[in-house]
Chain A
Amino acid sequence: MIQIENVTFTYNNSEEKGNLKNINLSINQGEVVLLCGESGCGKTTLTRLINGLIPWYYEGELTGSVKVADKEIREQPLHTLSQQIGSVFQNPRSQFFNVDTTSEIAFSCENQGLPETEIQRRIRQTVSLFHIGNLMDRNIFHLSGGEKQKIACASVSAGEPEIYVLDEPSSNLDVTAIDDLRDIISCWKAAGKTVIVAEHRLYYLMELADRIIHMRHGEICHEWTSEAFLKMSQAEVEKFGLRPASLKQICGIHRFGAHSSGSYKVRHLAFAYKGEKQSLNIPNLSLPHSAAAAVIGKNGAGKSTLLRCLCGLEKKCSGEVETDNKTYPLRKWAKKCYLVMQDVNHQLFTESVLDEVVLGTDSTDMEKAENILNQLDLLPFKERHPMSLSGGQKQRVAIAGAIFSGKDILLFDEPTSGLDFRHMEQVAGLMQQLKRQGKTLLIVTHDPEFILKTCDNIIHIDNGSLTEQYSLDRAGIAKLLDFFELR
């Protein structure tokens, strides 16, 4: 079905990583292939070879042949290729062309110029196959990330391609949404379609994948079946720089943290978005000093709302915080908090890393700033534009700004979304460093490995209220794994 022979590819744009060398790959019809590897290993580039974005969108030097159904990709225009190959990407927010869901599902078909009756039939079929009847005729902007991704899959599916290419589709999704994604892929597999998925999170595809291909530095290194992969020990998996694929590989990550002295006791937290009756209602919440708490919960449960309220972005939120036997109103305490947003790009304003660190303060203490940059391994980049750095580096710049401003409580919204194993470890290490410096951390995350490496206690939010708060001892770990359905 797909034949890639002797392909070497180099991007014209030197900023892009993931050049390929000597790729030889053959994929049969009906196979589900999982591409894995560290960031920059070339798995995304490989998907772009298959769906035609290389050479039709991304420019570069391409040698070798890429054939789908015995026809060269580079000889067919993108709109013809899209009839055979459907693509789903990482970011649910930027994949839709229309504002309402039904039109979006019809999009592929409309572009092919299919007759209206046929399009309606396909929509009905896709909707019943994926059980998304409740999502019809709705404003896409009002859907959750998981629902948006389902619509994206449905839209591609309605075009009835033979091959599906997915590039890190689960990056921004929570546990339930990932389950739905897995169901969708298994529908495709059952229909005999060929599916290629480039991913960091491997566990949800273990039952579906026929082949697991590992890449490094632009070359294919290893190939396993899923049974063989699952037989590997945790140490072996980590050596490849991959995320654990099963419970056996996760256990033993956690190091139980030291006891902290004192805590912030947040009380009577209450907030409602405009038009809602109550978005957040937490009578009591405890944040131990110099420790990291993970905030978990389903999408829409109110986790981000909690962070936004605690750092003072939601002015209508009321509450108080007790610490050191003194009680402060929420607004005053919020000044000690600093939020590192999920999309770090919203938080970078200046033209050099050094300027970014001191932004917002009136201080000109460059030495202090440089010290902080040094701690975070950013000193060589101090004159670089923040937006030219990698995702992880940008995150560290934002953190540097927080440390410089002297704020003690750092809030993180999904800091490891889409990161591979090594980078996740780096972030975890950074968190430990911050804890040692006496910072208190509150992290919203869907990443169980990260939680086990970093956090000391768990805050479980559901429907705007606190379901449970527990520390990560043995029993706690069991509860955590239950929540992530890893048992």
Chain B
Amino acid sequence: MSVGLISGSENTAHFTLDPRTKLALVATVCTIMISGRVGGIMTVIHPILALVPFVLLLFSRRVKAAVCYMIAYAAAYSMISFVMPATSGIISILIGATAGIIYRMMPSLITGYFVVNTTKVSEFNAAMEHMHVSTKITIPMSVMFRFFPTIKEESSAIKDAMHMRGISSLRNPMEMLEYRLVPLLMSVVKIGEELSISALTRGLSGDIKRTNICKIGFHFPDLVCFLLCIVCWICFVLHMGGIV
């Protein structure tokens, strides 16, 4: 059972993808979907890429999430294709906006979410090291991911305290901002210092080359994903060139 970058999720997937494959998938889905090119072969590529998150979620046993995503996507698609042309004016715009966001952004968002949720911090580090990404990026990034749950914990404790003190109902927005942020920042700084000391006294150094016991490597599912990415990119480039 491995533990995701954003803590809490434990991976019980049928297969595990190498983090670099996941990054490649994210890069592919995000760039191509966002660019929003239509027509030609993109009418085929788009649905394929939209299915990628669905398949990933399914295979990592997040069936409920997979189904929700599919439903949301299908709903957005049908809104755009059927409901919107039938309406006009402000309603059309609103539908276009909300459904449009789901339709365009969801695949990338969900793929990103999947990657972040199923990659161990050490896997991520190992992949970065293999790709020779400097420690100047990897150390801050792994600290950052490790810190997200802590921020959530602190923030929720502060929210509770605000409730206790009777200052949680909406009043002067400046005050609310102050009450919410200042204790959080103080807490974060203190924890950060303690984290720093603990890491430094266990030998963390930007200079020394670290080993990583995390096993990463490419297997058959990775090959399939890479193939898919390559095909999509080729189609995309050809489409841009006006060929397909």
Does B94 interact with chain A (Cβ within 8 Å)? Answer: no
Shortest CB distance A74–B (Å): 15
Contact (Cβ within 8 A) B157 A360 = no
With beta carbons under 8 angstroms apart, the residue of A52, A97, A152 that contacts B204 is A97
Contact (Cβ within 8 A) B164 A313 = yes
A107 vs B143: C-alpha distance when bound (angstroms)? 13
Contact (Cβ within 8 A) A119 B7 = no
**What residue in chain B is nearest A387 (Cβ atoms)?**
B186
Within 129-164 of B, Cβ neighbours of A (below 8 Å) are at 142-143, 145-146, 149-150, 153-154, 157-158, 160-164
A348 vs B179: C-alpha distance when bound (angstroms)? 9
Does B97 interact with chain A (Cβ within 8 Å)? Answer: no
Does B243 interact with chain A (Cβ within 8 Å)? Answer: no
Contact (Cβ within 8 A) A82 B202 = yes
Does B208 interact with chain A (Cβ within 8 Å)? Answer: yes
Contact (Cβ within 8 A) B203 A79 = yes
Contact (Cβ within 8 A) A109 B190 = no
A156 vs B200: C-alpha distance when bound (angstroms)? 12
Does A287 interact with chain B (Cβ within 8 Å)? Answer: no
Within 84-103 of A, Cβ neighbours of B (below 8 Å) are at 85-87, 89, 91, 93-100, 102-103
Contact (Cβ within 8 A) A111 B202 = yes
Contact (Cβ within 8 A) B7 A139 = yes
**What residue in chain B is nearest A99 (Cβ atoms)?**
B7
Contact (Cβ within 8 A) A313 B202 = no
Shortest CB distance A25–B (Å): 20
Residue interface bits B190-218, CB-to-A below 8 A is 1, else 0:
11001111111111110111111110000
Name the A residues within 8 Å of B4 (CB-CB).
99
**What residue in chain B is nearest A79 (Cβ atoms)?**
B205
Contact (Cβ within 8 A) B201 A87 = yes
Name the B residues within 8 Å of A106 (CB-CB).
122, 213
Name the B residues within 8 Å of A252 (CB-CB).
none
Q: Which of A61-69, A339-347, A477-485 contacts B (4 or more CB under 8 A)?
A: A339-347
B142, B163, B197: residue with the most chain A Cβ atoms closer than 10 Å = B197
With beta carbons under 8 angstroms apart, the residue of B153, B167, B199, B214 that contacts A359 is B167
Does B187 interact with chain A (Cβ within 8 Å)? Answer: yes
Residue interface bits A151-192, CB-to-B below 8 A is 1, else 0:
010011001000000000000000000000000000000000
Contact (Cβ within 8 A) B121 A98 = yes
Q: Assuming the A-B contacts A116-B211, A348-B183, are A156 and B202 also in contact, with contact meaning beta carbons closer than 8 angstroms in the complex?
A: yes
With beta carbons under 8 angstroms apart, the residue of B183, B191, B214 that contacts A103 is B214
Within 327-360 of A, Cβ neighbours of B (below 8 Å) are at 338-339, 341, 343, 345-349, 359-360
Q: Enumerate chain A interface residues (CB-CB to B < 8 A).
A: 51-53, 56-57, 77-79, 82-83, 85-87, 89, 91, 93-100, 102-103, 106-116, 119-120, 123, 137-141, 152, 155-156, 159, 308, 311, 313, 338-339, 341, 343, 345-349, 359-361, 387, 401, 405
A-B contact list, 12 entries, CB within 8 Å: A87-B197, A89-B197, A95-B195, A97-B142, A97-B146, A98-B121, A99-B149, A110-B211, A114-B211, A152-B198, A156-B202, A349-B161
